Amino acid sequence: MAHLFSLLPQLLLPWYRQHRRDLPWRKDKEPYHVWLSEIMLQQTRVEAVKGYYTRFLERLPTIADLAQADEETLYKLWEGLGYYSRVRNLHKAAVQIMERHGGTFPQDPKDIRALSGIGDYTAGAVGSICFDLPTPAVDGNVLRVCSRLTSDPSPIDQPAVKKALTEELAAIYPKESGDFTQALMELGATVCVPNGAPLCHQCPLNNICLAHKEDKETQFPVKAKKKPRVIQEMTVLLLHDGDIFALRKRPKTGLLAGLWEFPHLDGKYSIAQILEYLEQQGITVSDVEKTIEKVHIFTHKEWHMTGVFLSCQKGGPYTWSVPSDYALPTAFRIFLES
């Protein structure tokens, strides 16, 4: 295995320089830009991130601007990207950089890792790409490439497997650490792909890849069985007076913390039960318009939602506004598309 890994720099670096994608966060090695892109790219497609990345930097071009941004600005810039804890941690880390490092992104791997929301992968990516440190950034792409390369049946979602691979890669990192990190990422994203058969005829590692030699590419990587998602039923109340809707803010902790939402009830309620509840809230309903079923999937949970559109007069314990003025998570915005 060590011998296979030792061949990676000489095979991947020339390939990467010829085939790498032209992505906005590869224009420079500014740590803020690389850090922001890596956080945005977590569990999000590259094409989806491009526009958000550009808009975010236009509005908050420096770490100091990010540190000073208010919560509503951050949520609006992030609206639709999901996993909102990412932007909350970005803000916390920016404040830490201002307070601990005088506004300059730290170069020491331990200092980078100590920032809010930065795990081993992001610390490795920033350290290698921005400062050419031998700090591997091991994500799903890299785990997939290496498990196929070595025909390794170890479950890649076990922390010990990831830790061992990180150590093995660190031992063979070349001086062009940034390019090597991105070459591994690029190979997994564009050639040694996760869905369907990998594009082995385009791969610079096909002559040394054990899974390819054994014709077992699609058998790797191996993952442990996941627990089934928890299903939660809810009734979403789309109360509106013309274009103005009833909104409320979610609690500051928990799922989608601090974001805005349409009022809802846990469980599935009949129209009669909904009208009785709204009467208790001081809401006068003039028309029950339509009912729409939606499902929104989180990592470990599914919301099975019944959305009920009701025309009514403004009132009750809600904020009434045009929904586009607030950062609504996708779980609730999907009803407006109807």
Whether residues 268 and 301 share a domain: the answer is yes
For residues 118 and 252, the model is more confident at 118
Burial category of 215 from C-beta neighbours within 10 Å (exposed 0-12, middle 13-18, buried 19 and up): exposed
What is the CATH classification number for the domain harbouring 293? 3.90.79.10
Residue 251 lies in a domain: yes
**Structural domain of residue 183, as residue ranges?**
2-219
Residue 242 lies in a domain: yes
Residue 8 lies in a domain: yes
Residue 196 lies in a domain: yes
**Which pLDDT belongs to residue 50?**
97
Average pLDDT, the chain: 95
Whether residues 19 and 168 share a domain: the answer is yes
Whether residues 133 and 255 share a domain: the answer is no
Strand partners, 285: 312
Residue 186: its H or E element = helix 177-190
Residue entry with tokens 């990010």: 66
Residue 225 lies in a domain: no
Final residue before a domain boundary, out of 173, 195, 219: 219
Whether residues 210 and 251 share a domain: the answer is no
Non-local (6+) Cβ contacts of 295 within 8 A are 302, 303, 304, 305
Final residue before a domain boundary, out of 196, 219, 242: 219
Whether pTM exceeds 0.75: yes
Whether residues 209 and 321 share a domain: the answer is no
Q: Give the pLDDT mean for 286-312.
A: 95
**Whose CA is closest to 180, among 204, 215, 211, 150?**
204
Q: Place 73 in a pLDDT band, splitting at 50, 70 and 90.
A: very high
Beta strands 244-249 and 230-241, pairing class? antiparallel
Whether residues 210 and 283 share a domain: the answer is no
Cα 329 to Cα 81: distance, rounded to the nearest angstrom: 8
Q: How far is CA 303 from CA 87, 113, 237, 300, 326, in A?
A: 23, 34, 15, 10, 21
Whether residues 40 and 107 share a domain: the answer is yes
| Peptide bond preceding 204 in cis form (omega within 30 of 0) | no
**Which pLDDT belongs to residue 227?**
84
Local structure of 238: helix, strand or coil: strand
| pLDDT higher than threshold 70 for residue 123 | yes
Whether residues 212 and 290 share a domain: the answer is no
Q: Give the pLDDT mean for 219-242.
A: 93
**Whose CA is closest to 316, among 282, 287, 285, 280?**
282
Cα 12 to Cα 31: distance, rounded to the nearest angstrom: 23
Report pLDDT digits (tens) over 169-221: 999 999 999 999 999 999 999 999 998 889 999 999 999 999 999 999 999 99
Phi and psi at 74, nearest 5°, equal -65, -45
Question: How far, in whole angstroms, is CA 79 from its chain's centroid?
Answer: 12
Percent residues over pLDDT 90 in the chain:
92
Provide the domain count of the chain: 2
| pLDDT higher than threshold 80 for residue 129 | yes
| pLDDT higher than threshold 80 for residue 338 | no
Strands in 165-210 per DSSP E? none
By annotation, the residues acting in catalysis are 38
Whether residues 248 and 110 share a domain: the answer is no
Cα 88 to Cα 254: distance, rounded to the nearest angstrom: 13
**Which pLDDT belongs to residue 224?**
85
Final residue before a domain boundary, out of 185, 219, 253: 219
Q: Place 226 in a pLDDT band, splitting at 50, 70 and 90.
A: confident
Two structure tokens written together for 110: 């331990």
Whether residues 215 and 240 share a domain: the answer is no
Report pLDDT digits (tens) over 17-64: 999 999 999 999 999 999 999 999 998 999 999 999 999 999 999 999
Radius of gyration of the chain (CA): 24
The answer to whether 79 and 328 have CB atoms below 8 angstroms apart is: yes
Whether residues 195 and 274 share a domain: the answer is no
Residue 26 carries which DSSP code?
G
**Which pLDDT belongs to residue 1?**
65
Amino acid identity of residue 204, one-letter, is P
Whether residues 300 and 158 share a domain: the answer is no
Residue 59 lies in a domain: yes
